[in-house]
Amino acid sequence: MRTLSRMIAAIGAVSLVAACSGNDGTSGGGYPEQNITIVVPFSAGGPTDTVTRMIADPMAKALGGKVVVRNAEGAGGTVGAGDVARAQPDGHTVLMHHIGMSTAPALYKNLDYQPLEDFATVGLVTEVPMTVVARQNFEPATFQDLVSHVKANAGTVTLANAGIGAASHLCGLLFQSAAGVKLQEVPYQGTGPALTDLVGGQVDFMCDQTTNTSGQISAGKVKAYAVTTPDRVKSLPDVPTTTEAGMPQLRVSVWHGLYVPAGTPPEIVQKLSGALQAALADQAVIDQMAKLGTAPVTAADATPEAHRTHLDEQLKTWAKIIADAGVQAS
Residues forming contacts to ligand ASP in the complex (CB under 6 A) are: 42, 46-48, 98, 162, 166-168, 190-191, 208-209
Q: CA-CA distance, 7 to 9, in Å (whole number)?
A: 5
Of residues 122, 50, 29, the one with CA closest to residue 84: 122
Q: Which is nearer to ligand ASP, 20 or 186 (CB)?
A: 186
Which C-beta is closer to ligand ASP: that of 11 or that of 299? 11
| Contact partners, residue 204, CB within 8 Å, separation at least 6 | 134, 135, 138, 157, 158, 159, 160
Residue with Cβ nearer ligand ASP (130 or 275): 130
Least gap, CB of 250 to ligand ASP (angstroms):
15
Output the smallest distance, CB 196 to ligand ASP, in A.
12
Least Å distance between CB 211 and ligand ASP? 8
By beta-carbon distance, which residue lies closest to ligand ASP? 46
The SS3 of residue 293 is coil
Contact criterion met (CB below 8 Å) for 134 and 204: yes
Paired with 209 in beta bridges are 130
Q: Residue 69 to residues 93, 181, 321: CA-CA distances in angstroms?
A: 10, 39, 33
Please identify, using beta-carbon distances, which residue of 93 and 191 lies nearer to ligand ASP: 191
| Minimum CB distance to ligand ASP smaller for 92 or for 98 | 98
Rg of the chain (C-alpha set): 19
In angstroms, what is the minimal distance from the CB of 275 to ligand ASP?
Answer: 22
Q: How far apart are CB 208 and ligand ASP at their closest, in Å?
A: 5
Nearest approach in angstroms of CB 212 to ligand ASP is 7
In whole angstroms, what is the distance from residue 17 CA to residue 35 CA? 31
To the nearest whole angstrom, how small is the minimum distance from the Cβ of residue 124 to ligand ASP? 16
DSSP characters over 244-272: TTT-TT-EEEEEEEEEEETT--HHHHHHH
> Which residues face 222 on adjacent strands?
135
Q: Kindly tell me which of 75 and 278 has the beta carbon lying closer to ligand ASP.
A: 75
Of the pair 48, 314, the CB lying nearest ligand ASP is at 48
